[in-house]
Amino acid sequence: MRTPPPFDLSGRAALVTGAGSPTGIGYAAARLLGDLGASLTLAATTDRVHERAAELGARGIPTLGVVGDLTREEDASSLVAQAYAAHGRLDILVANAGMVSALDGDYLAGSIDETDPQRWRASLARNLDAAYLTCRAALPHLRASGAGRIILVSSVTGAAMAMRGEVAYAAAKAALVGLARALSVDEARHGVTVNVVAPGWIATGSQTPGEVTEGELVPAGRSGTADEIAAAIAFLASPGAAYITGQVLLVDGGNSIAEERRTPGP
């Protein structure tokens, strides 16, 4: 049997959530998956996802844009159904939606004293439930693919370390790792792999000035780029990653392994 080229996604269909921002990880991942040959469905909470879909369509990539709230089971199910109807298959799911919604600029940050049960549930819904609901809806099609790929976009926060005043976000992002590992065990017999990409400080349009400063303090001396996260996602989505499942890939410029933050001497 001929081994497929390790990064060729021709004939495959990918669904990428959280892909509305022109500078975000979701759109960068979708663009790269499309350039590698995949047909695409993009999801976001606002109509700007149609702009992203049009941009990719202009590159010759078959792309559908869908607006929805993936914390709602009916929206997640509708998204998957539309993706399948558009392309006749679904092979790759990149669950990137989370952190903050364009419809609601509240990051839901806070210490445990500042995080009442309503904010706690809202953060878990945005950062964990959306991935769970989308995975649950997509899995029948991913199993049928025989080479399904799920990539959950988490964060170094929760998956490897923590920030001050982020109890709900850290809990949700850590839970994505548990979800991925449980799914990887259950779904391996169907040929579905499930992995996590955990970004560190990334220079997107939503990065704050304080986060820019933090990025300058990592061993690499800078924040990462959305394209660098996209490259990790594309690798895990590729045929060449068929024997990798249940793993967490930290893309953080060495931030999670550096104990010292002082500037080294000459």
Active site residues: 169
**What is the C-alpha to C-alpha distance for residues 196 and 194, in angstroms, rounded to an integer?**
7
Closest to 97 (Cα-Cα) out of 156, 23, 152:
152
